[in-house]
Amino acid sequence: MSAVTDKVIGLLESIDNKLTQLLENDVISADQINTTSLAAISANMGLLRAGVIQSLNYEKDVQGFEINSNTDLAEFGNVKVRGELRTTAVVRNTQTATAGTFIVSDVADVFIADVAAADTTIDVRTNGLITNHIIFVKPDASRVEWMRIEDDGVAITDGYRYTVTRDLDGTGANVFYAGEAFVTRGSATVAGRCAMWGEGFGTDTVGAQWGIDDTSWGGVGSAAYGGWVVLEGTEDDGPYIGIMRREGGTYNDYSLYVCIGELTGFLDYAGSKEYGFGAGEIGDFISWDKLRGLRIQAGGGAAQLTGTYTLIPSLTTSQRDALTVANGLLIYNSTLNKFQGYENSAWTSFT
C-alpha cells in the first residue's frame, strides 16, 4: 500500500506542477499541453472542438465570438485592428459605415516598432515609401504629426527602416506605437540654396556646386507631385468627396481641385452649406449648385458662362490679331467697343 500511495502522491504532485506552469507561463509549450489535454478541455469546458474556438457565451449573430477553420469564418461583436486590414469585400445589401475622415492615398502603412519623439527613423512593414514622400500620422486627436521621408529605406527584419524629418508643422514630435497607421500626402523635393563661393569658409561643410538638381545658383527650387482622395463626413467640414493635389514642399502646401458635396471654402463659395460639385481653381473652373446653376470660367475668368449671363473674351485689336483664328470665333473688341466674329476668313463687327 505504501508504494501505491507514493505513486498516487507523485502523480498528484506532477499534475499540480503542470497546472502551476500553465498559470505562470505566458507561452504554452508542447510539454505543458497536448492534443489529449486539449480534447479533455474541450469535452469538459466547451471551449474547443475540431477546428473551432469559441467563447462560452457564443450565440451565432447574437453574442460572443467564434473562429471556425471549417468554414473559414470568424465572428466577433467588435474588432479593433492594430495595423493593416487586407483584402476586404463589402457584401451586397448590407450597410457598411466609417466615421470621420477617410483618406485614399498612394501609400498607407503601419509602424512595426514604437516611435519615440526623438527618433529620426521609422520602421514600417512595406517598402512603398520613397525619398520626399510627405506622411501624415493621426492615430487620435491628440497625436498629430507631419514627417518627410529622407531616403528610399533599408531592409530590416520583418520590414523597412526610413530616415525622416520630424515635426514639419512645428507643433512638436509625438510618440507613436507599433501597429498605428499613417498615409502619404504627396511628395515634394525641397532643394536648398547651394553655398556661394567663400560662404561659410572654414565652418560650412557644403561647398559651392554647379549642376545640382532642383537648385539654382543663389536661389532655391522645388517640385511637388501626387495627391489623394478625401471622404469627409464630419458635420463641421462635410460631407464631401474631394481630390487633393500637392503644390509644394511645405507640409500644408496642397489644394482641393475637385469637390462633390459641401462646397463652402472651395472656389468662390463662401456661404454656409452650399451643395453641388466643382472642379478647377478660381478663374478656370466648372461648377454647379442650386443657387447659381452651372458656371464655367476659362482663361483666368476672361470667359464665363453662368445661370445669369455669358461673358466672352474682351481683347484689343492687337490682341485679336495675334490669335490663331478659325471661322466661328467670337470676341468683344475693346479697342472698337464692338462685338466681332471671324467668318469667311475675316473679322466682322456686329452692328
HEC string of 139-176 equals EECCEEEEEEECCCCEEECCEEEEEEECCCCCCCCCCE
Average confidence (pLDDT) over 14-41: 58
The count of other CB atoms within 10 Å of the CB of residue 179 is 17
Average confidence (pLDDT) over 29-53: 59
**Quick one: pLDDT band at residue 208, thresholds 50, 70, 90?**
very low
**Quick one: pLDDT band at residue 1, thresholds 50, 70, 90?**
low
Strands 133-140, 275-281: pairing is unpaired
Asked whether the predicted pLDDT for residue 45 surpasses 50, the reply is no
Structural contact between residues 279 and 287, judged by C-beta atoms closer than 8 angstroms = yes
Task: Tell me the C-alpha distance between 185 and 107, whole Å.
Answer: 9
Average confidence (pLDDT) over 175-191: 90
Average confidence (pLDDT) over 57-85: 85
Task: Tell me the C-alpha distance between 163 and 117, whole Å.
Answer: 14
Average confidence (pLDDT) over 168-182: 95
Backbone angle region of 39, left / alpha / beta, with phi > 0 → left and psi within -120 to 50 → alpha: alpha
Asked whether the predicted pLDDT for residue 23 surpasses 80, the reply is no
Set of cell numbers at residue 185 = 500626402
Please state the three-class secondary structure of the chain as a single string.
CHHHHHHHHHHHHHHHHHHHHHHHCCCCCCCCCCHHHHHHHHHHHCCEECCEEECCCCECCCECCEEECCCCEEECCCCCCCCCCCCCCCCCCCCCCCCCEEEECCCEEEECCCECCCCCEEEECCCCCCCCEEEEEEEECCEEEEEEECCCCEEECCEEEEEEECCCCCCCCCCECCCCEEEEEEEEEEECCCCCCCCCCCCCCCCCCCCCCCCECCECEEEEECEEEEEECCCCCCCEEEEEEECCCCCCCEEEEEEEEECCCCCCCCCCCCEEEEEEECCEEEEEECCCEEEEEECCCCEEECCCCEECCEECHHHHHCCCCCCCCEEEECCCCEEEEEECCEEEECC
Q: How many residues make up the chain in this entry? A: 351
Average confidence (pLDDT) over 202-222: 48
**Quick one: pLDDT band at residue 4, thresholds 50, 70, 90?**
low
Asked whether the predicted pLDDT for residue 348 surpasses 90, the reply is yes
The rounded percent of the chain whose pLDDT value lies above 90 is 49
Asked whether the predicted pLDDT for residue 44 surpasses 60, the reply is no
Instruction: Tell me the C-alpha to C-alpha distance, in Å, between residue 295 and each of 200, 220, 268, 305.
Output: 55, 38, 11, 5
Most confident of 46-50, 78-82, 101-105: 101-105
Average confidence (pLDDT) over 44-71: 78
**Tell me, what's the pLDDT at 97?**
82
Query: What are the residue boundaries of the structural domains of the chain, listed by start?
Result: 2-75, 101-225, 229-300, 317-349
Task: Tell me the C-alpha distance between 220 and 244, whole Å.
Answer: 25
**Tell me, what's the pLDDT at 25?**
52
Asked whether the predicted pLDDT for residue 170 surpasses 60, the reply is yes
* pLDDT tens, residue by residue, 282-297: 989 999 998 888 999 9
**Tell me, what's the pLDDT at 207?**
47
Average confidence (pLDDT) over 310-329: 93
Average confidence (pLDDT) over 268-289: 91
Most confident of 51-60, 85-94, 139-148, 203-212: 139-148
Mean pLDDT of the chain: 83
**Tell me, what's the pLDDT at 37?**
61
Higher pLDDT pick, 244 / 270: 244
What strands, in cross-sheet order, belong to the sheet with 338-343? 314-315, 330-333, 338-343, 346-349
Structural contact between residues 134 and 187, judged by C-beta atoms closer than 8 angstroms = yes
**Tell me, what's the pLDDT at 142?**
94
Average confidence (pLDDT) over 323-340: 94
Average confidence (pLDDT) over 38-46: 54
Task: Tell me the C-alpha distance between 199 and 192, whole Å.
Answer: 14
Of 23-37, 218-232, 303-317, give the lowest mean pLDDT range. 23-37
**Quick one: pLDDT band at residue 94, thresholds 50, 70, 90?**
confident
